[in-house]
Structure formats: structure tokens, C-alpha cells
Amino acid sequence: MRGLQGPNLATTMLSIDIQRRLLISTSFILLAMTSGFAVVKFLYVGSAHLPLAAMAMSIVLIANIVYIYFGGNLVMSQMLALISMVLGFVFAVVISGGFNSAPVLIAPVLPMVAILWFDNRAGWIVAGSMILILVALLLAEINGLVPPNPQTIDGQRIAHFVVASIVTPVCTWLSWSFAQVKKHHIDSNRHDAATDHLTNLANRRAIDEALLREVGRAKRDKGWFSFALIDVDLFKRYNDSRGHQAGDECLIQIAQEIASVTKRPSDVAGRFGGEEFAMILPDTKPEGAFHLAKTLRKKIEGLNLAYTEDSGEIVTITIGVISIAGAEISSIEDLIKEADSALYRGKSNGRNQVVMKTIDTLL
């Protein structure tokens, strides 16, 4: 069934697993950035001025990666990493020459990380903090409180090049991650809007949209179109005797069987309302629709869901099917009406059956 099945993993929040993987991957990228800076500074300055801030930041990131990988608290890990990065940034800039240092280029990365790990509010808080830090740094540098950059001019040039070269793909990756998170939310919301929360089939809204789309296609292509309404026989009796939770489980099992017979990408199976379901079967001739409906009816019988513990009677379904050439469809409302009429006849004739109606023109 096209795009309407599968587990509902999240709605408006990222799943814990996705957040954990995002934190680990971001930490690895930041580790590569800080380690790269540390190596460059060591090569051009030597042991006289060790890149202590970058080294400390690398150690914190490694510890954080190990901590979160082995199931550590997600929020605590994010807070620790973010705070250590801000403090590491301040320390690195101060001991490396202020605005002449390469670490100052890292400033835009930290608010982006805060947004990715937490939310927009955290991003603005970190951005505001970074602006205050930069203002304080500027005043300190103007008043001669910041030591000069120990690197040579060539060393400074190389360090700026290396950091800028690293920060550029890092910012690109962060932007790509934002886009992926947004897509995740959009897909999740779209799935929720089109899915019945109990059965995970298409809901009534999605059924109506699919009918509008597929009937329009059938009219244009002048092919066969079939539509089926399925009703669980005596479901209230089952619900009253077994309880509402068991009734929900019954509907879920029936929904799974309906989904199992609507295998084509164009097929749509959904919950029409209550204990009633629907199947939209584009490009399906009467014989094909009838065979599929009979198969489904037998599958539901095969579940052996007894109405009561001491009863031999099992839950069954009645199906009303309408098949029609697309060019002859007058309206979606009449299509539903004809399927419902066939379903009603099946109910009146004793239930647990398929009633098929093939017509040339809907009245």
C-alpha cells in the first residue's frame, strides 16, 4: 500500500535513537575540527605553545562520544559537550592572540550546534553568549589584555586557512542536518495526518484523497476501477464480550490482513470508520476484485477470533465490492453509495460473504 504503512516512530520530536546518532556524528566532526587545529598549531609553534584548549576539547569530545555510545544520558551529554565547547573557544581565542587567532572562526559553528542538539531558543542563547564573548574579547584586546599570537605570519595564515577549510564543510554538514531534521518532521506529520492511529492504515481523510486521485486517473485512462467496503460482522458483540482492548486488537489483526492483500503500490487500504474498512483498487477488473475480496474473507476466518471464550462462533467480515469502467463513473459519492449498498445486501443475506456489483453506469 503506497506510503501509508510502517511504524509511527515520531510525531513532532526526533526519536531518541536519531538524537543519539546525531550527537555522536556531530561530536566526531567537531573532534576532527579541533584535532586538526591542534596538529597545525603544534607543527608551526612547537612544544613551546601547546594547543591546550584544542587538546582539552578533543579529550572532552572523545569522552563524550564513549559516554553516549554506551547509553549515557542524552541531555547531560549534550549540555556537557556544548558548555565545554564554549569554554574551550574562549580559552583558545584568548591564548592564541584574540582576533588574530584561527579559533575565532569557530564562533558561528556553536549556535548552529545548539540549535541542532536542542532547539531554536538554545541557539539564540548561545549566539547571544558568543556575541558578548566577542565584545569582551575586543575590549580586552584593545586594552592590551590579550597576549599576542605566538605564531609567525605564515603560521597564522596557514592556521586560518586550515580552520576556515574545516569550518566550511562543518557548517555545510550542520545545514544539511537541519534540512534532514525538517524533512523528518514533515514526513512524520504527513504520515500522522494520513494514518489511522490504531490500525496504521490510511484514515478517512487519506481514503477520500486517494479516491479523488485514483478516480480521476481511471476516468482519464478509461480503465477499470474497483472499490470495496469491509465491515466486521457483529463487532459490538465481540467488543462487549471481550472488552475494548481486545476489540482494538481484533481490528488491528483484521487491518494487517487487509494490508497483506493490497500489495500493489497503487492499492490503498484504510479504515473507513469504526469497524468498517475500505480498499481502493485501481486498474482492477471485476474478477480480480472479487478474487481479492474472497481471499481476504477467508484470511479473516483463518484468524479464528471467537466472539466469546466458550463460543465456537468466530469473527467474520462482509465485503461489498463495486467494479466499474473509469469512463462510466459519475461521482465518488455514488461510487461509495453503490459499494455500501452491496455491503448492506451482504449483511441482510447472512453476513460473512462478498457481494459484487459490476455496472456500466452509476445512477
CA distances from 94 to 130, 135, 149 (A): 14, 13, 9
Yes or no: say if 78 and 61 are a contact pair by the CB < 8 Å rule.
no
Q: How far apart are CA 33 and CA 31, in angstroms?
A: 5
Q: Which of 50-59, 182-191, 192-201, 348-357 has the lowest mean pLDDT?
A: 50-59
pLDDT in the model for residue 245: 93
Question: CA nearest 204: which of 172, 225, 167, 229?
Answer: 229
pLDDT in the model for residue 183: 79
pLDDT in the model for residue 282: 96
pLDDT in the model for residue 41: 63
pLDDT in the model for residue 45: 54
**Nearest 5 degrees, angle CA 107-CA 110-CA 116?**
150
Q: Which residue did the predictor score with more confidence, 161 or 250? A: 250
204-359 classified as CATH 3.30.70.270: yes
Q: How far apart are CA 118 and CA 181, in angstroms?
A: 12
pLDDT in the model for residue 349: 94
Q: Which residue did the predictor score with more confidence, 174 or 47? A: 174
DSSP string, 102-135: GGGGGTTHHHHHHHHHT-HHHHHHHHHHHHHHHH
**Nearest 5 degrees, angle CA 47-CA 48-CA 54?**
65
Averaged confidence pLDDT in the chain: 84
Q: How far apart are CA 27 and CA 38, in angstroms?
A: 16
Residue spans of the domains in the chain: they are 16-194, 204-359
Beta-ladder partners of 282: 225
Instruction: Specify the 3-state DSSP secondary structure of 263.
Output: coil
Q: Which of 112-116, 344-348, 349-353 has the lowest mean pLDDT?
A: 112-116
Q: How far apart are CA 275 and CA 106, in angstroms?
A: 58
Q: Which residue did the predictor score with more confidence, 277 or 123? A: 277
